[in-house]
Chain A
Amino acid sequence: MLEWFQGLYQSSAIADMTLPQMIQHLFNAVALGSLYGLIAIGYTMVYGILRLINFAHGDMFMLGAYFVFFTTVAFMPAGVACFFIAVAIYVIYGILRGFRRRPSLLPLSGVIGFVLSGLYFTAVKPVSFQLPWPAALVLAIAATSFCGVVVDRIAYRPLRDAPRISALISAIGISFFIESLSVVLFTGLPRPVLQPEWLMTPITFSLGAEKTADSLVRILPLSLLVPCITAGLVLGLLFIIHRTKPGLAMRAISRDIETTRLMGVSVDKIIALTFALGSALAAASGIMWALRYPQIQPYMGITPGLKAFIAAVFGGIGSIPGAMVGGILLGGMEILLIAVFPQLSGYRDAFAFTLLIAILLVKPTGLFGAKLEDKI
């Protein structure tokens, strides 16, 4: 055993690693880790509120990537776009003011105007255009969160009062269902994703006095953007949960669903909102993942989903900042393993799962997890 460790140490790459290489590995680690973190925050949010490990999260992630693939390359008929905008205005207004209230003139005229122009562009003058990139992103995220709400309605809501294990099994079932349905709808063929050039041109800088190939360190603008997005979403999510009315209801649900219901909160709506938010986060992470690794296929969500689960447990499942930190640490450790012990590079996934087991054995609450009762 000792000899094996000695051999491992001697063959490790740490002795002949130069500073630029080390920095490069560090950058790679942050780039990968923040992606894990981004997926993990959605996972952990749904768990924190419902105590449900949403195995379909990885599939929402995949759907987000597919939707952005379709919305960026497809030509959008202007009529359909107008209908979408009309529905969006209605939904946003409804969430802000309540669906039952009589709408005021401005949003009402907006909805009617867009419906009419939608009819005009469909029937009289059919035009189509390519969606600008940000609009494509928003549309893909909206579509995914709609799917999240549908999943909740079909697979989880009927089991709300059933034992927790039933919902877990239902989650696994719906996950397989979405994957298989996607194979039928989108085919198993991996598809390339459109990448905006400005995100993908590496920023290069030199660490040595001379600019040789060995002293260069490269990082993609995208890899700088992802941690910022992750941090921003964490802050946004914390704001929603701790500073808004629906957030208060979510926290109440996480403690006791029945009592919350008795307090006059419409629990099903709040849970639907939770899934909408969680799926929107999954879509955002799926889009970022697809930009970084521009190859999408129906099973792309499985491995990242499992890694994000490990990250969430590592950070303390239920804790949103914990998920982000856990993701970055997991990515860092994976890269470090390969950087220091290249001959162990095939054991990267084994390492990640060993880590999961170790955390569950030693500190099941993870880094930031509080006791089960008051976790959000």
Chain B
Amino acid sequence: MLKKIIAGFFALLMLCGSAFAAENIKIGVYLPLTGQNAFGGQLELEGIQLAHKEAPSVLGRTVELIIVDNKSDKVEAANAVTRLTARENVVGIIGTYGSSLAMAGGEVAEAAKTPVIGTSCTNPLVTLGKKYYFRACFIDPYQGAGAATYAMQKLKATNAAILQDVANDYAVGLAKFFENSFVQQGGTIVANLRYSSGDQDFTAQLTQIISKKPDVVFVPAYFAEGGIIMKQAKELGAAFRIMGGDAMDNPDTVKIAGGAAEGFLHTTFPYDPTMATMNPVAQKFTDLWKKAYPDKDPNVNAALGYTCYMMFIDAINRAGSDDREAITKAIAETKGLPAVTGTLTINDTHDAEMPIGIIEIKDGKRIYLGEITPAN
């Protein structure tokens, strides 16, 4: 008898549990909140939470964010997605910062048939051949070509060198696409030097690069490494300009590199708090951010997190249900959605189409120079 009562009690509990789950719409978030990519993950999470505060419900139901830390680790990223899809039963997932992590998580999401919108995973392989993976950003071939075009046309560079982290998919991809585009446009790559994640001493590589006298050195690093590369280059008397990718887009780049950041250029997504003119959504995001985090500058990663959440809300609204397939279809059909990074449209390869922003460090400040479209 007692057994039956207990069993009945548990059955009731489980029923209640599923009843509550039906009320809230669960959106999973997997981001690197600890580990070496934590700085990006935390910024993006803050952007997502800001958007969640702004639009806390959809279809008349409350949205619940299930946040899982992927610890900047590929295995943990796959585990995080498994947990979100199998145990939490989310309708969709936002994440992640870092292409390597997104690739690991993407396989699991694909098998679980759950739509994912990537924040800033720019490697083409993330969405290649995937039905359920989308992203709110552009991809590296486009960005690499943008950097090469800028170096060619605006800096009038003919010789370029590359310094890349071989243990990082993002850096390897970006370096390759920069090289292809630069060579196609008639330039020469005079040196291609490598290091692996965790290295802090780049003097040997930089001495080598300096001896080849390039006009521009492309460094597709994360900002912390990029900062000390700039510093060491200056200490060794380098005369070239350094260019980087969107991973350098962080207020701390200048803090770490100090005076050595002067003249540094990097590509990024077309949003920056220093933009001369902002679209209404970007303006709204900037105002919301300043109100929520008064002592922190808004940043493009946070903007992308914000955008991902808003894309989900838009897609769920259009799908009119919390069915995963319907939401996936709605995301794929996203067109002309007003977003922080401009009018957002998802193309055939599941990337968001947008121009490339260029930022220069001048007198210790980040200046948004404008936008560029790649030549090839």
Question: For chain B residues 192-214, which have a beta carbon within 8 Å of chain A?
Answer: 192-196, 198-201, 203-205, 207-208, 211
Q: Are B204 and A334 interface neighbours, CB within 8 A?
A: yes
Q: Are A339 and B237 interface neighbours, CB within 8 A?
A: no
B231 within 8 A of A: yes
Q: Are A294 and B228 interface neighbours, CB within 8 A?
A: yes
Residues of A within 8 A of B252 (CB): 189-192
Stretch at the interface among B7-15, B30-38, B145-153: B30-38
Q: Are A342 and B203 interface neighbours, CB within 8 A?
A: no
A200 and B224 alpha carbons, distance in the complex (Å)? 19
A249 within 8 A of B: no
Q: Are A202 and B42 interface neighbours, CB within 8 A?
A: no
Interface string of B168-195 (1 = CB under 8 A from A): 0000000000000000000000011111
Interface string of B213-243 (1 = CB under 8 A from A): 0000000000111011001000111010000
Residues of B within 8 A of A189 (CB): 38-39, 42, 252
A180 within 8 A of B: yes
B166 within 8 A of A: yes
Q: Are A213 and B196 interface neighbours, CB within 8 A?
A: no
Report A337 CB to chain B, min CB distance, Å: 8
CB-nearest residue of chain B to A289: B200
A31 within 8 A of B: yes
A303 within 8 A of B: yes
A303 and B41 alpha carbons, distance in the complex (Å)? 22
B156 within 8 A of A: no
Also in contact, A188 and B38, with CB within 8 A (given A204-B237, A297-B224, A348-B196): yes
Also in contact, A28 and B207, with CB within 8 A (given A187-B38, A189-B38, A192-B252): yes
Report B262 CB to chain A, min CB distance, Å: 15
Also in contact, A21 and B207, with CB within 8 A (given A218-B237, A303-B198, A338-B193): yes
Residues of B within 8 A of A170 (CB): none
Q: Bin chain B's interface residue count.
A: 35 or more
Residues of B within 8 A of A297 (CB): 36, 224
Q: Are B193 and A303 interface neighbours, CB within 8 A?
A: no
Question: For chain B residues 237-284, which have a beta carbon within 8 Å of chain A?
Answer: 237, 239, 252, 255-256, 258
Report B360 CB to chain A, min CB distance, Å: 20
Residues of B within 8 A of A29 (CB): 204
Q: Are A346 and B39 interface neighbours, CB within 8 A?
A: no
A345's partner among B36, B195, B228 (CB-CB below 8 A) is B195
Q: Are A293 and B193 interface neighbours, CB within 8 A?
A: no
A188 and B98 alpha carbons, distance in the complex (Å)? 15
A216 within 8 A of B: yes
A345 and B205 alpha carbons, distance in the complex (Å)? 7
Q: Are A24 and B36 interface neighbours, CB within 8 A?
A: no
Residues of A within 8 A of B235 (CB): 200, 202, 218, 220
Report B251 CB to chain A, min CB distance, Å: 10
- Ranked nearest first, the 8 interchain pairs of A and B with the lowest CB-CB distance are A188-B38, A346-B194, A190-B224, A338-B204, A303-B198, A346-B166, A28-B203, A293-B200
Q: Name 14 interchain pairs, CB-CB below 8 A, sorted by A.
A: A13-B208, A17-B211, A32-B203, A188-B34, A188-B42, A293-B200, A295-B228, A334-B204, A338-B204, A342-B191, A342-B193, A342-B205, A342-B208, A348-B199
Other CB < 8 Å A-B pairs besides A25-B207, A338-B193, 10 of them? Answer: A183-B34, A188-B38, A189-B252, A202-B236, A295-B225, A297-B224, A300-B200, A345-B204, A345-B205, A348-B199
